[in-house]
Amino acid sequence: MQRYFVPSSHFQDKLIRITGDDVHHITRVMRYNIGDKIICNSEYGKAALCQISQVTSDEIQATIETWLDENAELPINVTIAQGIPKGDKFDLVLQKGTELGAYAFIPFQAKRSIAIWDQKKAEKKQQRFEKIIKEASEQSHRNIVPHMKKPMSIEMLIEESKNYHVKLFAYEEEARVSNPNTFGNIVNRFEAGQNILVCIGPEGGFSEKEVNILKENDFLPVRLGPRILRTETAALYALASISYHFEEMRCSECQQ
Amino acid sequence: MQRYFVPSSHFQDKLIRITGDDVHHITRVMRYNIGDKIICNSEYGKAALCQISQVTSDEIQATIETWLDENAELPINVTIAQGIPKGDKFDLVLQKGTELGAYAFIPFQAKRSIAIWDQKKAEKKQQRFEKIIKEASEQSHRNIVPHMKKPMSIEMLIEESKNYHVKLFAYEEEARVSNPNTFGNIVNRFEAGQNILVCIGPEGGFSEKEVNILKENDFLPVRLGPRILRTETAALYALASISYHFEEMRCSECQQ
């Protein structure tokens, strides 16, 4: 069933008001009308099965039939800090990362980022990014819409990282040396409700200086498999692995 | 170091002959010349560190300095059978799937595939697909180039599936019902050297008839996390999870 994220201020008793682009989507793309059913989600994870009860050109009213008790969220809050990549690769990270359960996204201006997002550019992009995330959340049946944070410098990212229980960075060199911290060992120590920050370099990876700053601030280097992944694939590997570990595997069953 | 896949027939004693598009890449893109070093891989997984010893406009000779003993291949041969998707999504599956360690790819014409690849179209695409796979193999430091198989009908895919030890299909409905076969349980029973076939539906998923045919032919339905993935994301989830399980996690360490 089609799902729409609606601001919680639009939930009023048994009625939900839908405005903006979603009106077009409901009436023109899906061709729904009075009587058709949709799921409405608030940004805080509440979801309700609703019946469309009124349609005008700029607003739809839906009547709540039943609250849904569902959970499609990872038990761990995984934030992806992505070194700003070239072209539209960040769009891919947002779309696929949302499908795979990311909690939040932070673009950061890395030394080797070829693209530079000044404030004006970043503000223009912000709206598109939020649209990509919202649509991917609806399509993948998320309970919440991941947070899209403002672009940061590495210094701001270090400051931000103080809010996280575990901080990791994908470091290609780790693929070549033996490392007691396998990614699996680290993931296995995550606990439900923890905030995890996974930091991925841009094309060309982190500079030596960035590696040192990250290590000094308790970021653990991890390899994400023995192959060299493109920057936009690394976040997806990390998220899929964490989902697999906590949602599809039961470690007590590993040795059966 | 830059890596090139060279047909094994071009490996001659201590010399390797490089022809075709790679000549352009070496001389124009990378601007390498005599004395520069590259890695040459045969399609069977042999890899050698080489020094460029001769450059002409249509051929490069490289002298083998040392054979490399390296392995970036999954211990399991995972073939992705992808229901033909819309637009250029199959390109993404090939590129990312190669980075994530796929052994082979099979496009198949599913009931709900919107795009239809007739023989002429398929032949034209084949060359581009092989180029995407070769470049992704070089970039991700694979030892082999994954096989690109010809498009199949569902009946041909069932016939093909007899060559595999385990056959799976991603079935969205499994995300909604409780299933004793979690993806993790199934992956945990894979053994090194086995051939695994992972079958993914196109946009809109498998038809009821296809589900029945797959089940009758011993394909196990699996869910790939509790969120609904787009068709092109499903293969990447499966490959990343299998890599994580066998390459980054040691199950004996799970409970430490």
How many Cβ atoms are within 10 Å of B63's Cβ, its own excluded?
Answer: 14
Domain boundary among A16, A48, A68: A68
In total, how many domains does chain A have? 2
* Residue B187 to residue A254, Cβ atoms within 8 A: no
- 10 Å CB burial of residue B193 (0-12, 13-18, 19+) is exposed
Do residue B100 and residue B192 come from a single domain? yes
Going by C-alpha positions, the residue among A100, A98, A106 that lies closest to residue A137 is A98
Task: State the pLDDT at residue A175.
Answer: 54
Domain with residue B36: its CATH number is 2.40.240.20
* Predicted pLDDT at B222: 92
A232-A194-A154 Cα angle (round to 5): 45
Task: Round to whole Å and give the CA distance between B180 and B170.
Answer: 15
A255 shares contact with chain B (CB less than 8 Å) = yes
Please return the burial class of A206, using the count of CB atoms within 10 Å of its CB with bins 0-12, 13-18 and 19+: buried
Pair B8, B102 in one domain = no
d(CA A24, CA A27): 5
Q: Is the dihedral of CA A140, B229, A244, A187 positive or negative?
A: negative
Residues of B in contact with A141 (CB under 8 A): 227-228
pLDDT for B172-201, tens place per residue? Answer: 776 566 556 789 999 999 999 999 999 999
Measure the CA–CA gap between A178 and A105, rounded to whole angstroms.
Answer: 30
Are A58 and A105 within one domain? no
Question: What average pLDDT does the segment B7-28 reach?
Answer: 92
Question: In terms of DSSP bridges, do strands B37-41 and B47-55 run parallel, antiparallel, or are they unpaired?
Answer: antiparallel
Looking at the structure, tell me whether residues B125 and B7 fall in a common domain: no
Give chain B positions within 8 Å (CB) of A241: 240-241, 243-244, 248
> What would the pLDDT profile of B212-247 be if each residue is shown by its tens digit?
999 999 999 999 999 999 999 999 999 999 999 999
Give pLDDT, residue B179.
58
Give the number of other CB atoms < 10 A from CB of residue B151. Answer: 20
In degrees rounded to 5, what are phi and psi of residue A101? 105, 15
Percent of chain B with pLDDT over 70: 95
A161 token code pair: 């990282």
Q: Do B245 and A244 touch (CB under 8 A)?
A: yes
Low-confidence ranges of chain A (pLDDT < 70): 174-180, 250-256
Q: In this structure, are B31 and B103 located in the same domain?
A: no
Query: Which CA distances in Å does B7 have to A93, B10, B144, B251?
Result: 35, 6, 11, 38
In B6-128 the beta strands, taken as DSSP E runs, fall at 11-12, 15-18, 37-41, 47-55, 60-68, 77-83, 104-109
Is residue A42 located within the same domain as residue A126? no
Q: What is the DSSP letter of B75?
A: S
pLDDT band for position B256 (cuts 50, 70, 90) = very low
A180 in B contact zone (CB under 8 Å) = no
A249 and B184 within 8 Å at the Cβ level: the answer is: yes
User: What is the rounded distance in angstroms from the CA atom of residue B232 to the CA atom of residue B91?
Assistant: 9
A3: DSSP letter:
E
Q: B114 pLDDT exceeds 80?
A: yes
- Stated as kind and residue range, the H or E segment containing B208 is helix B208-216
pLDDT for res B177: 65
Listing DSSP states for A19-68 in one string gives: -THHHHIIIIIS---TT-EEEEE-TTS-EEEEEEEEE-SS-EEEEEEEEE
Q: How confident is the model at residue B26 (pLDDT cuts 50, 70, 90)?
A: very high
| Identity at B84, one-letter amino acid code | I
Residues of chain A in contact with residue B229, where contact means CB-CB under 8 angstroms, are: 99-100, 140
Q: Could you tell me if B48 and B118 lie in one domain?
A: no
The amino acid sitting at B2 is: Q
Q: Are residues B81 and B64 in the same domain?
A: no
Those of residues 123-142 in B touching chain A at CB distance below 8 A are 139-142
B201-230 exposure pattern, b = at least 16 Cβ within 10 A, e = fewer: bbbebbeeebbebbeeeebbbbbbbbbbbb
Of A16, A42, A68, the domain-final residue: A68
Q: Is A88 on the interface with B (CB under 8 A)?
A: no
Question: Interface pTM (ipTM) of the complex?
Answer: 0.88
CATH number, position A106: 3.40.1280.10
Selecting from A139, A225, A248 the residue whose C-beta is nearest the C-beta of B243 gives: A225
Check whether residue A199 and residue A118 sit in a common domain: yes
> Is the domain of A197 the same as that of A239?
yes
Identify the domain containing residue B49 by its residue range. 3-68
pLDDT at site A253: 43
> How far apart are the C-alpha atoms of B236 and B82, rounded to whole Å?
11
- Give B-chain residues touching A101 at CB under 8 angstroms: 225, 227
Put simply, the answer to whether B227 touches A184 (Cβ < 8 Å) is: no
Examine the domain organization and report whether B16 and B82 are in the same domain: no
Q: CA B187, A226, A217, A126: dihedral to nearest 10 degrees?
A: -80
Residues B55 and B158 in one domain: no
Nearest-by-Cβ selection for B254 from A140, A223, A254? A254
Residue that terminates a domain, selected from B22, B41, B68: B68
